[in-house]
Amino acid sequence: MIQITTVVGARPNFVKMAPILQEIHRRPNCKARLVHTGQHYSPEMSASFFDELNIPEPDVNLEVGSGTHTVQTAHVMMGLEKDFANRPDLVLVVGDVNSTVAASLVAAKMGIPVAHVEAGLRSFDRRMPEEINRLVTDTLSDYLFASEPAGVKNLLAEGVPQEKIFLVGNVMIDTLLQFRDKAAQSGVLDRLGLKKGGYCVATLHRPSNVDDIEHLARLVDVLSDVAKKLPVVFPVHPRTRERLAAAKVATDSLMLSAPLGYLEFLNLTAEARLVLTDSGGIQEETTILNVPCLTLRENTERPITIEEGTNRLVGVNPEDVRKAAMEALEMPPRIAKAPDLWDGRASARILDVIERTIR
Ligand code: UD1
């Protein structure tokens, strides 16, 4: 029996881990243990994802909560050191959040093999906490499962041996394809009084966009201008909510909401005319949904969404964002190509590799 301890903590990780857990449960030779670090703890940030995505009740919740990066990472590490004392055959982590790097550090120091799903992505911007998390996690991992060719290329360039790297596709898209039809029944458009193709969706939560309240206020002004053309739905991350309150900026023309559950948000994105975001995962989801996406960042670690998908990197200068949004609303939506291996089978490929090779 292969014992695999999986670690989740923050919102995007739940979406990525759900299909992997299903795949582990499907295999008689594998057994999963699920640790929730509690990095995201509010019901709106976490609880609904578990129900909607059929994620089993975690075996343990470390309840670390918020804190500085050091405090949060350290608390996760302390909790996991105790949990890993049962010595699983493998610790499997996804993405690039603080819980991910904490788990890989603890496992590596205890001599437990680490598998990193979504390995090799690089923004080449070390001011992003996620970039530090990616670099450290990949350095410590024994299995590096890449979602797109750029991930493989980056790892090889960093000297990772080829035999540790596996291009398997995108687990977040496994979830999207599985739940797309169910999401279409969510009723969110009726609830918010929206028409298919008749609104935009905005999300902002990166420290680089929301922590400086003057910058945030300028971006909100741009969104308000977009809202003169089409309604803008803006589900607000708790970090952003705090900063918006501090900025005292007018948001009356936007449709603000609390963070949405997975199915409602997928439904909302799928039917949007345009998405403006600084999230990583949304760049990938819009590519598969064939919805134009403007990414409000200077870089992306997911270049395939630009090369083959619907994503456009527009930077964070408010004038550039405004211009790009107005242009995007004028242009007919571009037809995207689904990247290779973004086909709903990434988790199965991951488990195939693990079953075939683990000693
Ligand atoms: C984290 C990830 C980020 C990911 C994002 C998705 C890291 C470094 N960042 O950022 O990559 O895109 O999750 O959501 O791991 N808060 C609540 N309730 C919660 C959780 C957070 O109110 O359940 C508030 C707290 O004020 C907290 C702040 O949000 O200080 C930030 O939370 P944190 O988990 O530290 O990082 P995120 O910004 O959510």
Q: Which of 8, 36, 39, 123 should be mutated for ligand 1, with most atoms under 8 A from CB?
A: 39
Cβ(205) to ligand 1 under 6 A? yes
What residues contact 241, with CB distance under 8 A and at least 6 apart? none
Residue 335 binned pLDDT confidence (cut-offs 50, 70, 90) = confident
What kind and span of H or E run contains 191?
helix 188-192
Kindly calculate the radius of gyration of the chain based on its CA atoms and give it in whole angstroms.
20
Which domains occur in the chain, in start order? Answer: 2-170+342-357 (3.40.50.2000), 180-330 (3.40.50.2000)
Indicate the DSSP class of residue 93. E
Is ligand 1 within 6 A of the CB of residue 132?
Answer: no
pLDDT at 36 over 90: yes
Q: Which of 178, 202, 158 is nearest to 263 (CA)?
A: 178
User: Measured in angstroms, how far is the CA atom of residue 85 from the centroid of ligand 1?
Assistant: 28
What's the CA gap between 167 and 144, in Å, rounded? 8
Q: Residue 334 pLDDT more than 80?
A: no
Residues 6+ apart with CB under 8 A from 68: none
Residue 247: pLDDT above 90?
A: no
**pLDDT, tens digit (0-9, with 9 covering 90-100), for 165-203:** 999 999 999 999 999 999 999 999 999 999 999 999 999
Q: Which of 140-144, 165-169, 288-292, 335-339 has the lowest mean pLDDT?
A: 335-339
pTM score, whole prediction: 0.97
Task: Enter the tokens of residue 58.
Answer: 């975690």
Residue 209 has pLDDT above 90, yes or no: yes
Contact 152, 239 (CB under 8 A): no
Ligand 1 proximity of 151 Cβ (cutoff 6 Å) = no
The two beta strands, 200-203 and 30-36, are unpaired
| 326 alpha carbon – ligand 1 mean position (Å) | 30
Which of 38-52, 78-92, 101-115 shows the lowest mean pLDDT across its residues?
38-52
Q: Ligand 1 centre and the CA of 69: distance in Å?
A: 10
| 195 vs 192: CA distance, rounded Å | 9
**What residues pair up with 313 in beta bridges, in sequence order?**
295
